[in-house]
Structure 1
Amino acid sequence: MREEELSDVIEAETDGLGADVVIEAVGLPETWEEALKLVRRGGTVLEFGGCPPGTSISVSTEKLHYGELKLLGAFHATPRDFEVALSMIASGSIRVKPLITSRRPLGELPDVLESLMKEKKDLKVAIIP
């Protein structure tokens, strides 16, 4: 989805308030900055996608401070962790197919997240665009 389309959708779906929570998982400085523009006053932005070393972003201190935003970073794994995991998957020592317990379309994502929090019946759900 293009940037202007995403902001239009968020604005329309939230009556112009912005999203309660924005999770950035791409790892580009542009998407990190865009996440901060999409969140509502008092909202939370989780910057999950790792940018390359030395990357900087521009942040509106006015929006961050007066908008009372919560800005979080989360680190998931190192490049070496990925190498080891992919090697184990490729060799067959880890079978990943049984880990995906359900496949659902992107349009059902809110229902999937609610189900994962309440029912806890699925291990991993593949979201199909």
Structure 2
Amino acid sequence: LVQANEHSVQQVAEITGGDYATAVFDATGNVNSMNEALQYVAHSGQLIFVGLVKADITFHDPEFHKREMSILGSRNATREDFEQVLSTLRQKKLSMDGYITHRVEFDELPTAIDQWLLSDSHVVKAIVEL
């Protein structure tokens, strides 16, 4: 999500029974999205920043503390790195068939995650379709 809004935050609350997401990955590299991502994280959940942005990221400290959450950063990748990967995929130099093992519609995500966590699910990469 590029920017949290009351509707999107409410949707996540409804889907999770008011618990929000235990792990939120933001790979956008968009400062607005990264600033707002905290709103989707459950109590004691994790916010993982995958995208890199050359700006300050800010959030409301009382909200952060109320959630008793962790914020993590992934290894850096540059825009050029992502462009190279996309180019490789577009040129069909790499088949994704073996990597994307599961797909689910957004509304089915809560049930699917429970199944994906089972050791016999053999999830490599899962796609959530909006």
CA drift of 1:128 comes to: 2.5
**C-alpha separation in 1, matches of 2:78 and 2:27:** 15
Percent identity, please: 25
> Given the two structures, how large is their TM-score scaled by the length of structure 1?
0.68
Instruction: Give the conservation status (yes or no) of the 8 Å contact 1:63–1:69.
Output: no
**What is the total number of aligned residue pairs between the two structures?**
127
**C-alpha separation in 1, matches of 2:113 and 2:7:** 23
Q: Which is higher, the Rg of structure 1 or of structure 2?
A: 1
> Given the two structures, how large is their TM-score scaled by the length of structure 2?
0.67
Local SS of the residue matching 1:85: helix
Alignment of 1:7-86 (within 5 A): 7-12=9-14, 18-51=20-53, 53=54, 55-65=55-65, 67-75=67-75, 77-86=77-86
**C-alpha separation in 2, matches of 1:6 and 1:107:** 13
CA drift of 1:5 comes to: 0.3
